[in-house]
């Protein structure tokens, strides 16, 4: 979305600049009138020197450092923790406890002149309890289901990496486009400066007039304004790229970029259903939901556990020796729980149906993405060819108009119009080139080949 907004600004900005510049030129009494209410520039030290990255380096760093992927990695750790928590009831547990009891006095019993201590004034006791699940099908199945969520979290991480990589690729292309726009505006400024110099020379020798000079100066000032805006947009684009790759400053790009060749249409449709991380995650979610529904029978199975408890009692009691142990088998049979199991079964079936609907929609969207991307690539290539031809013709028209102006065969208005048309044609070619690259990124992503 960031790059598309920048592309829109490339189209809209020249027109807005021309509209706002025209009345300013009419009101200007002199060619070199100073700017009103000019603000002092900020110190350049606020912007650190940009770090230069290749396309592959930017993708690799964004996948490793972007907060979205880091959060997805944390989700894997969270799912692993939930799995260990759910698995705990299926594993043995060992507990130890101790107590110290003090009475206000010993409890004694006297029978036939014989005194027996029933409870000593100070009593100490300790015991350990070992619980071993012997038959726990519900806990076993819940642990298996929780482990599947770990696998789903891993697929989600791959999908998050794909989204971040696509966003980084768009930001990378945006920086490239802004650099090209700076070059276009720079060349337009050079042409406008040459036109102004020629108009001034004509005015000085008496073969020109003041109006031609003012118009040429207006065009130069417009180009200066657009160049300043383009330079500002370069900084913004580099800062946006730096945020995506996890850098503490702007990131510069390489001027050339070679994208992989797109797949064939049939291969792209097939790979989109098998290679895309979001599709694989959707399939895993559906399968996990199906297993949960299938394993609902475990709610009705009994639970058998063994409990072993050694103990220590000091002083011993009449019914409790000083040391000893006890063991028991505990069988729990769920007979009636108020209908909770039936409600859970309905929820599981509903979640399974939702997962099937979500997967069908993902597959439908993936196929649509591939078809749309192929059409966008084809039409973007056609538009790029026409835009480049238009830019080439615009340069030829500008050269011919300048030549005719020097020979006195045309007027200043046609020169200004030719300069504007040439600049706009170059900008349109830049937009078309960026759109063609964006379309290829979308196609590679839709088919599961990017990153």
**Average confidence (pLDDT) over 276-296:** 93
Whether 392 maps to a domain, the answer reads: yes
- pLDDT score, position 380: 94
**Average confidence (pLDDT) over 402-425:** 86
Q: How many domains does the chain have?
A: 1
Angle separating helix axes 277-294 and 340-406, nearest 10 degrees = 170
**Average confidence (pLDDT) over 154-164:** 92
Whether 125 maps to a domain, the answer reads: yes
- pLDDT score, position 303: 94
Question: Which pTM does this prediction carry?
Answer: 0.75
DSSP letter at 329 equals E
- pLDDT score, position 370: 94
- pLDDT score, position 39: 55
**Average confidence (pLDDT) over 252-281:** 87
Residue 8 has pLDDT above 90, yes or no: no
Whether 336 maps to a domain, the answer reads: yes
Residue 205 has pLDDT above 90, yes or no: no
**pLDDT tens-digit series, residues 302-338:** 999 999 999 998 888 777 888 999 999 999 999 998 9
Alpha-carbon separation of residue 214 from 194, 201, 217, 355, 405 (angstroms): 14, 13, 5, 68, 16
Whether 43 maps to a domain, the answer reads: no
**Average confidence (pLDDT) over 289-314:** 93
Whether 215 maps to a domain, the answer reads: yes
- pLDDT score, position 318: 74
Query: Diameter of the chain by CA atoms?
Result: 147
Whether 21 maps to a domain, the answer reads: yes
Q: Across the strands, what pairs with 128?
A: 96
Whether 73 maps to a domain, the answer reads: yes
What lies within 8 Å, CB to CB, of 113 at 6+ separation is none
Whether 36 maps to a domain, the answer reads: no
Residue 358 has pLDDT above 80, yes or no: yes
- Count Cβ neighbours within 10 Å for each residue of 86-104 and write b for 16 or more, e otherwise: bbebbeeeeeeeeeeeeee
Residue 24 has pLDDT above 80, yes or no: no
**pLDDT tens-digit series, residues 221-242:** 998 999 999 999 999 999 999 9
**pLDDT tens-digit series, residues 81-126:** 999 999 999 999 999 999 999 888 887 777 777 777 777 888 899 9
Domain that residue 311 falls in: 2-28+48-103+115-446
Query: CATH number for the domain including 157?
Result: 1.20.1600.10
């Amino acid at each position: 979305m960031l790059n598309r907004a920048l592309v829109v600004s490339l189209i809209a900005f020249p027109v807005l600049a021309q509209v706002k510049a025209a009345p300013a030129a009419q009101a200007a009494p002199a060619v070199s009138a100073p700017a009103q209410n000019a603000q002092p520039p900020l110190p350049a030290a606020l912007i650190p020197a940009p770090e230069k990255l290749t396309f592959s380096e930017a993708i690799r760093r964004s996948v490793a450092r972007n907060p979205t992927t880091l959060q997805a990695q944390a989700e894997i750790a969270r799912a692993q923790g939930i799995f260990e928590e759910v698995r705990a009831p299926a594993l043995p547990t060992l507990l130890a406890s101790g107590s110290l009891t003090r009475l206000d006095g010993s409890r004694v019993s006297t029978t036939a002149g014989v005194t027996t201590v029933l409870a000593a004034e100070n009593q100490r006791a300790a015991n350990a309890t070992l619980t071993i699940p012997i038959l726990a099908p519900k806990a076993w199945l819940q642990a298996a289901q929780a482990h599947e969520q770990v696998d789903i979290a891993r697929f989600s991480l791959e999908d998050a990496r794909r989204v971040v990589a696509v966003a980084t690729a768009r930001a990378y292309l945006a920086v490239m486009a802004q650099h090209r726009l700076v070059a276009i505006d720079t060349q337009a400024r050079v042409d406008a400066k040459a036109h102004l110099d020629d108009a001034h020379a004509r005015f000085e020798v008496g073969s020109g007039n003041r109006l031609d000079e003012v118009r040429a100066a207006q065009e130069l000032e417009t180009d200066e304004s657009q160049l300043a805006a383009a330079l500002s947009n370069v900084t913004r684009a580099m800062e946006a790229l730096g945020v995506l790759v996890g850098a503490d400053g702007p990131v510069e790009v390489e001027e050339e970029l070679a994208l992989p060749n797109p797949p064939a249409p049939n291969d792209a449709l097939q790979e989109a259903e098998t290679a895309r991380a979001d599709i694989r995650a959707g399939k895993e979610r559906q399968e996990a939901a199906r297993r949960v529904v299938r394993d609902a029978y475990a709610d009705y199975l009994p639970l058998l556990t063994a409990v072993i408890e050694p103990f220590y009692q000091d002083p011993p009691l009449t019914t409790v020796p000083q040391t000893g142990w006890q063991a028991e088998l505990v069988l729990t049979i769920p007979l009636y729980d108020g209908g909770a199991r039936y409600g859970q079964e309905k929820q599981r079936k509903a979640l399974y149906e939702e997962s099937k609907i979500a997967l069908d929609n993902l597959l439908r969207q993936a196929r649509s993405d591939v078809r749309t991307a192929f059409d966008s690539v084809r039409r973007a290539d056609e538009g790029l060819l026409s835009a480049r031809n238009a830019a080439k013709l615009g340069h030829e028209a500008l050269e011919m108009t300048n030549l005719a102006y020097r020979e006195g065969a045309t007027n200043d208005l046609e020169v200004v119009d030719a300069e504007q048309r040439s600049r706009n044609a170059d900008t349109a070619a830049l937009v078309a080139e960026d759109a063609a690259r964006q379309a290829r990124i979308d196609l590679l992503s839709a088919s599961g080949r990017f990153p």
